[in-house]
Amino acid sequence: MSPVAKGPVRQALSTLPPRPELGPAPRIKVPSLSERVLPSGLRVVAVRRASVPLVEVRLRVPFAGRARSHLAQSSVLTDAFFSGTEIRDAHELAQAIQALGGGLSAGSDADRLAVGGSALAAHLRALLDLLAEVLVQNAYPAEEVAGERARIAEEISISRTTPSTLAGEAVSRRMFGDHPYGRDLPTVEEIHAVTPASLRRLHRDRISPAGAVLVIVGDVNPRRAIDDAEAALAGWQPDGRKPTSLPAVPAFVPGGISLLDRPASVQTSVRLVLPAPSRQHPDYPALSLANTVFAGYFSSRLVANIREDKGYTYSPHSAISHAELASYLTVDADVATDVTAPALVEMWYEQARVAAAPVTREELDSARRYLTGTLALSTASQAGLATTLVRLLDNGLDAAWLRDHPAALAKVTVDDAYRAARRWLAPAASATVLVGDAGVIGGGVEALGALSSLTLD
Amino acid sequence: MPAVTEKRVHRLTLPNGLRVVVAPDPAAPVVGVAVYYDVGFRSEPEGRTGFAHLFEHLMFQGSARVGKMEHPRLIQGSGGTMNGSTHPDFTNYFQAVPSNALELTLWLEADRMRSPAVTEENLANQVAVVQNEIRVNVMNRPYGGFPWILLPPVAFDTFANAHNGYGDFSELEAASVQDAEDFFRRFYTPGNAVLALAGDVEAKEAFALVRKHFGDIPARRTPKRPAFSEPPLPAQRRVVHVDPLAPTPAVAIGWRAPHPAREAKASFASVVLAELLAEGDASRLVQRLVLRDRIAISAEAYLGVFGDPFEQRDPQLFTITAMHPQPVAVDLVVDTIQQEIDRIADDGVPDDELTRVQSRLRAQLLRQTDQVISRTQQLAMFEQQRGRAELVWELPDLLGALTARDVQRAAGRLRSESASILVLQAGAAA
């Protein structure tokens, strides 16, 4: 029962204040960086950001491997990274991290090992000492490695039943084939084949400060933070080996629809994939804007079409990803199984539309303000700034990008965005990947293009 | 460098009942704006499960002077971000924008507080969108709705506490424009909302803008919030659920947590206990079940349906979950969890362990306040759900002041005989 009287809430709208105009956008302050390349080759960057009494630390180390076993080995290595050193066991390490009010974790992709964490700012030196301990004295105790292997094997079985993970794996395979970039998940058999000895060897041979980057952001004095890093990490030295480089990625052959069968799936995970320019490429600012208008934010054409008009899906979006040797664009939409074919047609339509005709000036300006504003928002917290900086440095850029990229976005014309979209977003340059119930969707999709089935190992 | 943040809340209540809290911080030229309506899925009517969440979607469909998709377009087009979410006890709408977009953001929030524009077409469209949200988050993936949808019907008996807040497909489809109008008129009154602003804005300026845009929204009667409390469970409960997509089993155990208002200290002690039990590799359950005995793949402990211990009023659950390998019997997992709880209840907690856990909690709470969008949300949430926005800054000390005895007592409340256990069987086990 409604306790209030019936009848709509009415008011003379004309008496209400009109929609406010936007004033000039505030200027983005680019953080000033302190920086030192240590004799070991490790580049250390520190920024003072005193908003809360914490400190954020991000380390990236070149960590590529050509062998097929590298993916499984690096998975176990990162999961066992805090399992024990020459002086402390796993429990003691975990307690030490906890005592700093912090967390430390490790992960990897086909290019890099990433170690990151945070702590109360007063404990920065202790955090760096712990980091040095796992970098220099990691032991990979056999008993702990066995436990991690069993756990990862269970986690892989879960990942292989999760549509978003399966779709990510299918995209990597379609984009990069047999290249190391083509696999995200090792097999359970590969995991079981990893030995503690192979982890110690991999660690010794590959986890080197040469070419590595360490970013420190927080309520700290930057120069003293770098001094602390230099002192704490003095024992981490290169052994003269060159980092492994990966072969060039295979040429991408566009076209076709690759279908990974997932019986009884109530949705189809639709992914469009395309090569994209790197952040350094002259087309990057213009393509970023065209992509934003197309599907890069909630106010995009794709969301307006397949979500807000047709209700086919919940959160369609596109994004550009950057690996060391390749950048690529993916468009994601998880659509109800029975509308797979019509949803795909609409996605292709919006892709073709942005490549075939210029966006409006209004669309371009909206995307421009969005990319500029959200860059400022993402660097407004310690954690956000640390993550953004390490990504830039890892991509061969520096903090000046935080100023230069908005300036480049500001210069992009409608025509520039059109040219970039025509080159990079054209349907003829893309491929389609589907994860869904082949028995239900196969027939409808077959009518739309050359359909092939995709399998994962 | 910017001065240390002034940790002060400025308050205003408009004649129409809207409560406003402002926490200025000029460090970065961004401002957060959050509106919290004191209605969540516990208040939605029987036969209309999922309606509070559906209505949240409808609040983005336009209002008297704002067209469909225009709210997101204006916010994003000014360089900001926005979203909304539906919880047991509130529904929130929030944005982080460059400070030049503050007034525009207030104008947009005021317009939909005054009169959202719900049409048959928008309603049908958003029912389809929500159904796809449920497919992607629940139906199409393993462990969908585990345990937030699956555990409450085991632990509670009343519709308000037990039902699925995402909603039943047929009940979503039965929702009408009239339902939306009724729901809005009853629950989305200015007096039932808290508006929070944080970041690059001064209190005086903020209050002037709020008066200008929200001041003439007519007052309506503020709904009285029902008590949702339920009597204690007479005996342990256990329900088996088969997840057809899960390759490995899992279990969730829920207990009624201390009353957040009447037993505030005990409630805070439960927060520390959850951290001590399952946060990080040094925690009791991860050490014992995952790393030592290897009878679980993961373990978690938390308060509240979505893991925020401060967002819900009474009743809420203290929940422990574990995923475990198929060959491990669920009883062994449950018994070992109970052993670890009893060990704390019987022997207490060493001071050094408590100190470490409190350091971790302190850092985590500080970290949350560093982002303007989460700080703004917390200010509104604490003001509305706990009656004190200042808790944003006071919590680290409040949690840090708890003693080993407090945590021991919190563990003593988690008795085997009052547990509600959801056993998730792996329908896709090899």
A170-202: per-residue pLDDT in tens? 999 999 999 999 999 999 999 999 999 999 999
Produce one character per residue of B133-166: b if its CB has 16 or more CB atoms within 10 Å, e if not: bbbbebbbbbbbbbbbbbbbbbbbeeebbebbbb
List CB contacts (< 8 A) between B79 and chain A: 25, 369-370, 372-374, 376-377
Instruction: Report A:416-455 residues touching B (Cβ under 8 A).
Output: none
Interval B276-314: pLDDT, tens: 999 999 999 999 999 999 999 999 999 999 999 999 999
CB of B124 within 8 Å of a chain A CB? The answer is yes
> Among all residues of chain B, which has the CA nearest to that of A371?
B79
Inter-chain contact A380–B371, Cβ cutoff 8 Å? Answer: yes
CB of B128 within 8 Å of a chain A CB? The answer is yes
Inter-chain contact A101–B363, Cβ cutoff 8 Å? Answer: yes
Confidence of residue A11 (pLDDT cuts 50, 70, 90): low
Q: What are phi and psi of A39, to 5 degrees?
A: -55, -30
pLDDT of residue B6: 61
Fold exhibited by the domain B237-426: Cytochrome Bc1 Complex; Chain A, domain 1 (3.30.830)
CB of B339 within 8 Å of a chain A CB? The answer is no
> Among all residues of chain B, which has the CA nearest to that of A17?
B213
- Say if residues B190 and B19 touch (Cβ distance below 8 Å): no
pLDDT of residue B326: 96
Confidence of residue A9 (pLDDT cuts 50, 70, 90): very low
CB of B222 within 8 Å of a chain A CB? The answer is no
Confidence of residue A28 (pLDDT cuts 50, 70, 90): confident
CA distance A371 to chain B (A): 7
Shortest CA distance to A98 belongs to which of A122, A120, A114, A115? Answer: A120
CB of B219 within 8 Å of a chain A CB? The answer is no
Confidence of residue A355 (pLDDT cuts 50, 70, 90): very high
Inter-chain contact A52–B200, Cβ cutoff 8 Å? Answer: no
Interval A271-298: pLDDT, tens: 999 999 999 999 999 999 999 999 999 9
Which of B73, B221, B366 is closest, CB to CB, to A4?
B221
Shortest CA distance to A85 belongs to which of A149, A133, A144? Answer: A133
Q: How many CB pairs under 8 A join A and B?
A: 242
CB of B356 within 8 Å of a chain A CB? The answer is yes
Interval A426-450: pLDDT, tens: 999 999 999 999 999 988 999 999 9
pLDDT of residue A16: 86
State the Cα–Cα distance between residues A62 and A70, nearest whole angstrom.
13
> Among all residues of chain A, which has the CA nearest to that of B125?
A311
Shortest CA distance to B77 belongs to which of A371, A418, A319, A403? Answer: A371
Inter-chain contact A51–B27, Cβ cutoff 8 Å? Answer: yes
Interval B325-377: pLDDT, tens: 999 999 999 999 999 999 999 999 999 999 999 999 999 999 999 999 999 99
Q: Set out the domains of chain A in order of their start, with CATH numbers.
A: 34-232 (3.30.830.10), 257-453 (3.30.830.10)
CATH of B10-214, one of 3.90.420.10, 3.30.830.10, 3.40.50.300, 3.40.50.150: 3.30.830.10
- Show the tokens assigned to B401: 């002041």
Inter-chain contact A369–B281, Cβ cutoff 8 Å? Answer: no
pLDDT of residue A457: 73
Inter-chain contact A95–B246, Cβ cutoff 8 Å? Answer: no
State the Cα–Cα distance between residues B278 and A359, nearest whole angstrom.
51
Inter-chain contact A161–B245, Cβ cutoff 8 Å? Answer: yes
Asked if B10-214 and B237-426 have one fold, the answer is: yes
- Show the tokens assigned to B350: 């060493």
Query: Mean pLDDT throughout B262-274?
Result: 97
Interval B21-75: pLDDT, tens: 999 999 889 999 999 999 999 999 999 999 999 999 999 999 999 999 999 999 9
Inform me whether the pLDDT recorded for A369 exceeds 60: yes
Boundaries of every domain in chain B: 10-214, 237-426
Instruction: Report B:190-209 residues touching A (Cβ under 8 A).
Output: 200
Instruction: Report A:301-330 residues touching B (Cβ under 8 A).
Output: 304, 307-315
State the Cα–Cα distance between residues B406 and B181, nearest whole angstrom.
47
From A236-245, A323-332, B178-187, the region with the lowest mean pLDDT: A236-245
Query: Mean pLDDT throughout A6-11?
Result: 43
State the Cα–Cα distance between residues B299 and A380, nearest whole angstrom.
33
CA distance A379 to chain B (A): 10
Tokens 């803008």: give the residue: B209
pLDDT of residue A6: 37
How many Å is the Cα radius of gyration of chain B? 22
Quickly count: other Cβ atoms within 10 Å of residue A156's Cβ: 19
> Among all residues of chain A, which has the CA nearest to that of B327?
A154
State the Cα–Cα distance between residues B297 and B290, nearest whole angstrom.
6
Which of A50, A150, A369 is closest, CB to CB, to B79?
A369
Which of A99, A308, A380 is closest, CB to CB, to B359?
A99
Identify from A57, A151, A188 which residue to disrupt to test chain B contact, counting B C-beta atoms within 10 A and taking the largest count.
Answer: A151
pLDDT of residue A5: 35
CB of B242 within 8 Å of a chain A CB? The answer is no
CA distance B404 to chain A (A): 16
Query: Mean pLDDT throughout A96-123?
Result: 95
- Show the tokens assigned to B289: 């079940």
Q: C-alpha distances in angstroms, A179 versus A67, A106, A174, A435, B273? A: 10, 23, 11, 21, 47
Instruction: Report A:150-189 residues touching B (Cβ under 8 A).
Output: 150-151, 154-155, 157-158, 160-164
CB of A361 within 8 Å of a chain B CB? The answer is no
Confidence of residue A14 (pLDDT cuts 50, 70, 90): low
pLDDT of residue A110: 96
Report the percentage of chain B scoring pLDDT > 70: 99
Give Cβ neighbours of residue A91 (< 8 Å, ≥ 6 apart).
B281, B282, B287, B291
Inter-chain contact A382–B370, Cβ cutoff 8 Å? Answer: yes
Interval A151-177: pLDDT, tens: 999 999 999 999 999 999 999 999 999
> Among all residues of chain A, which has the CA nearest to that of B275?
A98
Cis peptide before B147 (omega within 30 of 0): yes
List CB contacts (< 8 A) between B27 and chain A: 51
Confidence of residue A13 (pLDDT cuts 50, 70, 90): low
Query: Mean pLDDT throughout B205-228?
Result: 96
List CB contacts (< 8 A) between A11 and chain B: 114-115, 216, 218
CB of B182 within 8 Å of a chain A CB? The answer is yes
CB of B362 within 8 Å of a chain A CB? The answer is yes
Inform me whether the pLDDT recorded for B237 exceeds 60: yes
CB of B7 within 8 Å of a chain A CB? The answer is no
Using a 10 angstrom Cβ sphere, with 0-12 exposed, 13-18 middle and 19 or more buried, the burial of residue B224 is exposed
Which of B2, B76, B325 is closest, CB to CB, to A370?
B76
State the Cα–Cα distance between residues B31 and B376, nearest whole angstrom.
9
Inter-chain contact B370–A51, Cβ cutoff 8 Å? Answer: yes
How many Å is the Cα radius of gyration of chain A? 25
State the Cα–Cα distance between residues B230 and B262, nearest whole angstrom.
15
Confidence of residue B4 (pLDDT cuts 50, 70, 90): very low
Interval A52-102: pLDDT, tens: 999 999 999 999 999 999 999 999 999 999 999 999 999 999 999 999 998
Which of B69, B80, B294 is closest, CB to CB, to A304?
B69
pLDDT of residue B230: 95
Q: What are phi and psi of A58, to 5 degrees?
A: -135, 125
Inter-chain contact A377–B64, Cβ cutoff 8 Å? Answer: no
State the Cα–Cα distance between residues B176 and B187, nearest whole angstrom.
17
CB of A365 within 8 Å of a chain B CB? The answer is yes
Identify from B133, B370, B373 which residue to disrupt to test chain A contact, counting A C-beta atoms within 10 A and taking the largest count.
Answer: B370
List CB contacts (< 8 A) between B100 and chain A: 22-26
Inform me whether the pLDDT recorded for B5 exceeds 80: no
Inform me whether the pLDDT recorded for B9 exceeds 80: yes
Identify from A158, A334, A370 which residue to disrupt to test chain B contact, counting B C-beta atoms within 10 A and taking the largest count.
Answer: A158
